[in-house]
Structure 1
């Protein structure tokens, strides 16, 4: 019942490095990676949300329709850069 597979910490660390390098994320930005379960229609069962919060208030979000442990570098390379500006 509570046998949910947790994301591998090493996978999260590697994803942060790959994303930081690909999108030139500055060291003073906060990069968070979260795995969410979705119960809405037409929504993947597990989705990974990647968020960059820059100290200037700029926020960028990326979504991958896979669990963290299944994400490959090609998924990162295929991301569309969807920027949200929250001040």
Structure 2
């Protein structure tokens, strides 16, 4: 039987905080969409849960990075430095693995 994932208030608070840190770190306007997702990785060597942060600076320009920890464990200094913003432009095929 499938069971939906339950989200705690601690996780929601952590997601909001990660979004705020991301917006501040990369100088993103309020209208920029930021997505924070905690996913399970079943591949050998991957952490059991990891956090992926994605944001768009143009309709066809997606930036994406991965943190190898649960969203509630993410801290401000875990985010990449702001000068790496353009290095995180993703074509969608490069974040599938660790």
- TM-score for the superposition, normalised by structure 1: 0.78
Q: Relative to total residues, which structure has the larger strand share, 1 or 2?
A: 1
Q: Is the 8 A contact 1:57 1:85 kept in 2?
A: no
1:14: Cα distance to partner? 1.2
- For structure 1, the 5+ residue unaligned runs are none
- For structure 2, the 5+ residue unaligned runs are 93-98
Q: Relative to total residues, which structure has the larger helix share, 1 or 2?
A: 2
Q: Which runs of 4+ in 1 moved over 3 A?
A: 4-7, 77-81
**Number of residue pairs the alignment of both structures matches:** 84
- Aligned-residue Cα RMSD (Å) equals 2.5
- TM-score for the superposition, normalised by structure 2: 0.71
Q: Quick one: structure 1 residues 26 and 68, their matched pair in 2 at CA, closer, same or farther if it must change by over 3 Å?
A: same
